[in-house]
Structure 1
Amino acid sequence: MTRRTTLTALTTVVALAGAMALGGCSSDSGPARPELKVDGAFMPQPVGDMAGGFLTVTNTGGAADKLTSVTSPLSDDVQIHETKNQKMRQVKSFEIPANGELKLERGGSHIMFMAIKKQPKQGEKVRIELHFERSEPITVDLPVEAATHNPSKH
């Protein structure tokens, strides 16, 4: 084998190896990401200076995420709460599992608006922004329902 033939064979092998490596990369869909969607959102009409918010965040992606905070023009102090053993407490975040959901519902985990700035009435909407650990924020308009509204009872 001449030096030129050896060099040509080596170049061909390197080129094929590179093409195979690139081909493998191009079929890779990249790292798994959360894919979030919000539905079932509502706020019962408040009867005092606090209000609750409820919704479901569905994650159809292959990676988990966390709801880390909620902001709203209705209150400068919007908290996320969990209810355990009939006691409510503020938490720093809620897990949203990959291919799963986070349900914020009456009697359970929920959004809490402290010291609301105005009393929204049934039929109005309250704008909120959900903030996540990995995903971009999602803006949601919560329809204000009757104070006794509870879709899980229907």
Structure 2
Amino acid sequence: MNRRTTLVTAVALTTGLVLAGCSTDGSGDADVKNAKPELKVSGAFMPEPVMDDMAAGFLTVKNDSDVADKLTSVTSNISGEVQIHETKNQKMREVKSFDIPADGQLNLERGGSHIMFLKLKKKPQVGEKVAVELHFEKAGVIKTELPVEETTHNPKKQ
């Protein structure tokens, strides 16, 4: 009886250990699936808008982790609607998300992908800061501010 109990216990423990190493996606690495990316926002700015009802925003999101993510939306209380746009072949269009590769970055910059603020509630002026919330698929919400710069402001790439 004692030998049988020991054998059943050993089998149960082995099965438990094997199952603990499994993940729901079959990859065997549950920690990577549940890991959050390490995102940092830099270089954020908004050129002072020339129109009263719309503006653009630019920034860089750096991912210092082995986990990719997506920017899925942006919100701000300065605007009735905020969209994320890409520019290809000199044509701008709204997109549902932007990929942020593992150990990579997303550049939102003049002439390319950017944040579009529509239906401005007030026209921001040079020296002010516009609060935004960046919504990511895995990292959640990151709050940041876009300093309002001169209309012609265009920092050089580094």
Percent sequence identity is: 62
Once the two structures are superposed, the pairs formed by residues 92-111 of structure 1 within 5 Å of their partners are 92-111=96-115
Alignment partner, residue 31 of structure 2: 30
Under a length normalisation based on structure 1, what TM-score does the superposition of the two structures give?
A: 0.81
RMSD, aligned α-carbons? 2.5
Alignment partner, residue 39 of structure 1: 42
Q: Which amino acid aligns with 1:98?
A: A
1:79 is matched with which residue: 83, 98, 103?
A: 83
Matches of 2:138 and 2:157 in 1, distance apart?
Answer: 33
- Residues 10 and 69 of structure 1, relative CA distance in 2, 3 Å threshold: same
Of the structure 1 ranges 13-22 and 80-89, higher mean CA displacement relative to structure 2 is found in 13-22
Q: Which amino acid aligns with 1:94?
A: F
Any gaps of 5 or more consecutive residues in structure 2? 23-28
Determine which structure has more spread, i.e. the larger CA radius of gyration. 1
Matched, 1:131 2:128: no
2:3 is matched with which residue: 3, 6, 11?
A: 6
Under a length normalisation based on structure 2, what TM-score does the superposition of the two structures give?
A: 0.80
- Residues 19 and 90 of structure 1, relative CA distance in 2, 3 Å threshold: closer
Matches of 1:16 and 1:115 in 2, distance apart?
Answer: 61
Deviation at 1:131, TM superposition (A): 1.0
Matched, 1:149 2:146: no
1:116 is matched with which residue: 116, 120, 140?
A: 120
Matches of 1:64 and 1:126 in 2, distance apart?
Answer: 27
- Per-residue CA deviations over 1:57-94 (Å, capped at 9, x if unaligned) read 11222222111111111111111110111111111111
- Per-residue CA deviations over 1:90-141 (Å, capped at 9, x if unaligned) read 1111111122111100110000111211111111100011112222111111
Paired residues of 1:34 and 1:62 also in contact (CA < 8 A): no
